[in-house]
Structures are given as C-alpha cells and as structure tokens.
Structure 1
C-alpha cells in the first residue's frame, strides 16, 4: 500500500496571477519578446491539438500562440517567462506535515499533481515547510504527459513508487480530478470532507485494516 498526495490546495496554497495571459506577456516583454496586440485572444486559443486527458506544457502552448501571430522567440526565453509568471508565494497548509509523516511511517509516499508549468511543483515544494526527501516520487502532469483523472496519471505515479495502482491511497481536494484514483482500483480521501487534521487517523485506520487482511 502507498499514499499519494495532490499538492496545490491540498498540502499547500499558492499565489496565482490574477490574469495569467497578462503575467506571461509582461515576462515575455521583459525578455525582449514582441507580444502581439491581440495576445489575450492568442493565449486563450487552442493551438496544439492533443489527446483528451493529456497535458500540453504551457511553454509549448505559448510558443504556438506566438508563432500563430508570426512572432518567434528562443525556447529558453519562453520557458523562463512562463516560470517567472507563475513563480509562487507558498503557504504550507495546517497539518500537512503530520499527514505526510504519517504516510511515510507506513510505506511509499508520492505526489501526483496536475501542473502545466515545468518545475513549478518542485519550486513550490522547495518553498514549503515540507521536507522534499519525504517523498519517494514526485510526478507531475507536465512530466508524465497525463492529467488527473486520466488513469495514466495514476499509473505513472504507481510505477514510480513500484506499486500496483490498486494499492494507492490518493489524498486530494478535487473529486473530479483526484477522484480518478477510484477508476484504477485505488482509494480517494477527499480533504474537503476528511480534513488534513483527520487524515492521519484515517490513514492509520487504512494501514491497520491492511495489516489485518494480510495476517
């Protein structure tokens, strides 16, 4: 049995730009990239066709949006602009550390997060009060290519933890995305119903029941 956590709004809360398109545009301009006059429209238009449930990196989308307006920019400028636009202020949620430590005491622990910005999850963890070394695997949609609730997202983190997806307990705040664990035979704990303060007790119950079944 293994435990995976959603990150944003589960273990941490982060600042988000009020206007993502404008934030990206500002960072592009800082790097000398010409921003099209209809950037808001370009930003919100789909330029990269993808399979349902797959993740398109935001930098890929931004590059395609610029090219659709005949603007070219070095890939590293775009990546850096996107990273800067979403660079977060991070607050660790109450009881998050205790919940993670309870999970660690009983088996492998990972993070599975939907995030289209490369390295944002890692930067967020670095700024949180949670010790990154507690996690045996950190899997993001931008890295594995699939967003929760797609089964492949959960299969990816299960593979990284070297467990079967059916043995996963996934803890998150969104039944529509995090609840996808149920479709691969795992179990979902919804922190909007079972708070992080109660998760430790709930996990202890899960692990004790599992031990009883084995014995």
Structure 2
C-alpha cells in the first residue's frame, strides 16, 4: 500500500482555514499508547538489544568498553533525548544519538558502516517484544473509514523510525486504513509543534476546523492539536483541555458519527 509521506512535497491547502468547526472530514491518531501499546512492555528487552549492538560495534572498532558502562551512557542519552524533545519539540535521530554516546565514552567516531549497523539494530529493536494494537483499534479504524473520513497517523519516533513503524502497522493489517502517516524523524519536528498537524492536514487537503486528533498525551496530543486548530480526543486518562474524553477506542465511532457529514462536500474541503 502506498501512503503519502511528508518527507515529499506536499500539496497546498485546498481552501482557506474555516473560522468555525465544521463537520469532521479527517481523524488523526497518535500511535504509541493510543493505537498500539505504550513503550513500557518489552522496553527492558529492547534496551538490551540496543546496548549489545553498540557494545559489539565498539569491540569491532577496537574499543573494549565494558557493557555496563555502555548501558549507563545509553541511559544518560535517553534522559537527554527526552529533554530535547520536551524543550525543542524535535526528536533526535539515531546517528545523532550514537555520536553523543561516543562523546560521553570519550571514543572516536565509528566508521559509516559500523554506525549504520548500530542504527539499524536500534531501529529493528522494535521487534523484540513488539507492541500490539490496543483493544478496539482495528474496529474503530474500520468504522471511521466506512464513514468516509480521511485517516492519518501523527507520531513522534524514538529509536524505531517511521519506516519501521509502517512495517509494524502493516504486520497488524492497520496500514491499509491510513491516507497519510507523519513521523517526527522524517519531518524534523515533533508534537506538539502545530506544523506536525497542519502539514498532515495539507496532505489530506482538509482544514483544521474539519479534523479531530486522538491521543493519550495531554501535552503533545491534546495541547498540540488544540493549538493547531483541531478538536481533540483524550484517550485513556481524562484531560480537561480535550474536546472529548474516551476510555476505549471502541467509543470513537459512536462519538464522532454525528459529527461526520453524510457526504463529502467540496465547500468543506
């Protein structure tokens, strides 16, 4: 299946942004802890895969660094990554992360080939206890698709890239539902930056007033969507700033159906 990527040229907005909320034409989704399980399950096993990969590459490069020391530096880097994400609204890519770890270990840079090997292992660590879809995800997507709305994913990425996360969605037969997928490693910014949402909607040719975003994070999902002019659905834990709150994805179709126009009108596109 081919879906638009925001690393390619986007179409311009089809019309001016409406000043009032209109019927819902598009629903965008967060990925982690919304459509799929959160990072927690399997995270320890994935950490081991990544630290083993870096230790092995260092040994191949002639640096016999203790594995425990590598794990310590990776933990420091994870804290740094989250701080940059929170403060700058960007997610550092794997090559940048590896370079910083080597600086902390006071070691020379790896060759391009070894760096690529490490980054590939980081990316593929997703398959160590891969996260599964949250209950009701496929059914909710199918119902919304049957209503005629455009569907998209807007997700920040960490060690696993957008390319790998597409494969995960394909594994669970969820990729087929989406008209666009936006990943932070591919566009160079992350939620709650409004452009993550607006660029996705431009690709869908739907204005913010006709879109709603679903996600679990009050800051990146609810605040980000609201700032971009979308309506928001907080998934899991209630959020006062959200337009709506749901405890289960199975609630979405009934919630949104009255707000979805029966027929797509050119004037609302």
TM-score class, shorter:
0.7 to 0.9
Q: Tell me if structure 1 keeps the 8 A contact 2:124–2:164.
A: no
TM-superposed deviation, 1:153? 1.4
Alpha-carbon offset, residue 135 of structure 1: 0.6
Contact 2:98-2:115 at 8 Å conserved across structures: no
Q: CA RMSD in A?
A: 3.0
Q: Specify the alignment match of 2:227 in structure 1.
A: 183
SS in 2 for 1:18: helix
Counterpart of 1:6 (choices 30, 51, 63) is: 30
Q: In structure 2, how many angstroms separate the alpha carbons of the residues matched to 1:21 and 1:13? A: 17
1:115 aligns with 2:157: yes
Q: 1:71 aligns with which of 92, 108, 118?
A: 108
With normalisation by structure 1, the TM-score equals: 0.83
Q: Which segments of 5 or more consecutive residues in structure 2 lack a partner in the other structure?
A: 1-24, 237-244
Contact 2:194 / 2:227 at 8 angstroms: preserved in 1?
Answer: yes
Whole-angstrom distance in 1 between the partners of 2:95 and 2:50: 10
Deviation at 1:75, TM superposition (A): 2.9
In the aligned structure 2, how far is the partner of 1:204 from the partner of 1:111?
A: 20
Q: Given the two structures, how large is their TM-score scaled by the length of structure 2?
A: 0.68
CA distance, structure 2, for counterparts of residue 85 and residue 59 of structure 1: 15
Residues 56-67 of structure 1: pairs in structure 2 closer than 5 A = 56-67=92-103
Task: Write the mapping of 1:129-168 to structure 2, written as runs, cut at 5 A.
Answer: 129-130=173-174, 132-168=175-211
Task: Write the distance in 1 (CA, Å) between the matches of 2:178 and 2:43.
Answer: 28
Higher RCO structure, 1 or 2 (CA under 8 Å, sep 6+): 2
Computing the radius of gyration from Cα coordinates, the structure with the larger value is 2
Q: CA deviation at 1:207?
A: 0.8
